[in-house]
Amino acid sequence: MSTAAPTEVQMLNVQIDGVWMQFPKGTRLIEACSQAQKFIPRYCYHPKLSSPGNCRMCLVELGMPKMTPDRKPVLDADGRPEIAWIPRPQISCAQDVSEGMAVRTDSPMVQDCRKGVMEFLLINHPLDCPICDQAGECRLQEFSVEYGNASSRFLERKVKKPKNVELGPRVTLDAERCVLCSRCIRFMREVANDDVLGFVDRGSFSTIACHPDRILDSNYSLNTVDICPVGALTSTDFRFKMRVWFLKETKTIDVNDGLGCNITVGARQNTVYRITPRENNDVNGVWLPDSHRLNFKYVASEQRLKTPLVRGETASWEHALETLAEILKAHGPESMAIIASARMTNEELFLVSRLSEHLAVNQVDVVPRTGEPDGILIPADRNPNTSGAKALGICGSTPGARLPGIAEQLRKGSIKVLLCFEDPAHCGLTEHDLSKATLLCVDILPNRSTPFAAVVLPGSAWIEKRGSMVNIRGRLQRLNQATLPPAEARNDWEILCDILRVTGGSNLPSTIEEVFKQMSAAHAAFGGLTLSKIGDLGVSIADSLPPSDH
């Protein structure tokens, strides 16, 4: 219930279904009931949004202490206040707890109320669950089973409303399914700062609509689909692709920016169908930008590198690694450079650092990526693991500071071999420069420098690997594997181990857990942690990172 708060919060006595409990002042009644394991059905209430109290689903029976004329509570034999029950039901979502408050969450009156509310909500509902994408995670379905009637008493014609309306480029509206909870309207007003949605028309014809001349094109518009309790708002991208009950959900993190939003990847039979945000109040709350959640199609691209390439020709892993080892052995450390990526996990970056030590290469850096912060979730740093790269010593306090030097030396010819985990064209190198160097690339998709590469090794996309990353706030978070890499592609940490092995490295880890173990032994920032200790929500290691990092 209450955590040890630094400032003294007043605790209030509340009776829930006959049991007296204590809650801190300011707790919503509906939340207090949830904490007491009494779930109250709700449509319009959302913990991150304001409470208009317009769906009436969360009705409960409420009581206050009986008061003597001198405003003292009347106490019963046990010393508890006697309750004066309010004869009409009250909504629990717009009510904070108060001292001596009593609530009945499952009394006959409450049950009747819910049944009545459900019946009204379903009057004009089209009952098209078979085609509705929300089916399976629909509040209306769930509460209909829990609290509703099995049959309809409605004999009149249902109100027809617009269906299959494109509110914006990514969101489709089916107004008939809408229960007018206004969550989407409030989200756009309060969170996305883009007050584009609203109600039009009256009574049973009331419906959601965009402001005239506007469309729902905010980069957070798909969050309205997430919070819509019914199938009124659906994702145009996910529409009719797959039923949600087939999706195997994997908890992982987003890699499109430095925040590392917590997400759930829904995949079936090695194909990713959608990405939804996962609640983590220390990172992203429950939101996720559209640009991030739709940026997974390239993982299933036909263009993916599926087999190793040696000078453009398909080769076996053995042959590719042998060629790579020959190239590395034939050159001195001063003529080599490693371009790592801040999109790699800590484990991979740690192995890169081991490799650079093993080969005595000191020209190592990552490619920086920056953009305009949007003021909501997206920060300026668009690389997911810049903090990790700094902590592991892959880059200095300014990522990419060594890249111009590497590029210059490459042009001069003093660097001949470039081991790249990212497209080296990002370092300002032209095709002419790249064609002069010997490129050894590990990547998932062909890029501008692949045609010049001596050896290309197919790696794994972020959805396909386990590992950890440190976000811009110094939070260590975990990636989990949702799908398998295509064909012969391998996990990047395995590729790095292979490179270490063929160049004569020793003490090679055989599992990702072992990599983490070696890393936590070598770097104090990760000391005492394991991959499983990170947990689904991550742990903050900001205190043990060098202070200059954030």
Partner 1 sequence: MAYTVPRPKLTFAEKLYLPNIVAGLAITFKHLKRMLKGETKVVMQYPEEKWDKSMPEHYRGAPTLVTDQHGRERCVACQLCEFICPPRAIKITPGHIPAENAFAKVEKYPAAFDIDMIRCIYCGMCEEVCPEQAIFLRKDYAITGTSREQMLHNKEKLYELGGVFDGLIHKWNPEK
Question: Closest distance between partner 1 and the C-beta of residue 149, in Å?
Answer: 18
Q: Which is nearer to partner 1, 243 or 319 (CB)?
A: 243
Smallest gap from Cβ 156 to partner 1, in A, equals 11
Question: Looking at beta carbons only, is 205 or 246 nearer to partner 1?
Answer: 246
Radius of gyration of the chain (CA): 29
Give the shortest CB-299-to-partner 1 separation in angstroms: 20
- Own/partner long-range contacts of 326-330 (Cβ < 8 Å, ≥24 apart): 327/417, 327/438, 327/440, 327/454, 327/455, 328/359, 328/417, 328/419, 328/440, 328/499, 328/503, 329/503
Cβ neighbors of 210 (< 8 A, separation 6 or more) are: 167, 168, 196, 197, 216
CB of 315 to partner 1, least distance (A): 34
Given the complex with partner 1, which of 234 and 346 has the nearer CB atom?
A: 234
- 405 vs 438: CA distance, rounded Å: 17
Min CB(11)–partner 1 separation in Å? 47
User: Token pair for residue 123?
Assistant: 């009057």
Judge contact between 249 and 266, C-beta under 8 A.
Answer: yes
Handedness of CA 136, 273, 165, 256 (dihedral sign): positive
CB 64 within 8 A of CB 83: yes
Backbone φ and ψ of 23, nearest 5°: -135, 150
DSSP summary character for residue 517: H
**Cβ-based nearer residue to partner 1, 111 or 149:** 149
Binding residues for partner 1, per CB under 8 A? 126-131, 135, 157-158, 163-164, 239-243, 245-246
Q: Identify which of residues 133 and 464 has a Cβ nearer to partner 1 in the complex.
A: 133
Residues 6 or more apart whose CB falls under 8 angstroms from that of 30 comprise 40, 42, 45, 58, 92, 93, 95
> CB-wise, 88 or 163, nearer to partner 1?
163
The secondary element (H helix, E strand) that includes residue 310 is strand 309-310
User: What is the closest distance, in whole angstroms, from the C-beta atom of residue 273 to partner 1 in the complex?
Assistant: 12
Whose tokens are 């109290």? That residue is 53
170 class by beta-carbon count within 10 Å (0-12 exposed, 13-18 middle, 19+ buried): buried
Q: Which is nearer to partner 1, 130 or 375 (CB)?
A: 130
Q: Least Å distance between CB 295 and partner 1?
A: 23
Indicate the residue among 168 and 258 with the shorter CB distance to partner 1. 168
Q: How far is the CB of 138 from partner 1 (least distance, A)?
A: 13
Specify the DSSP class assigned to residue 322: H
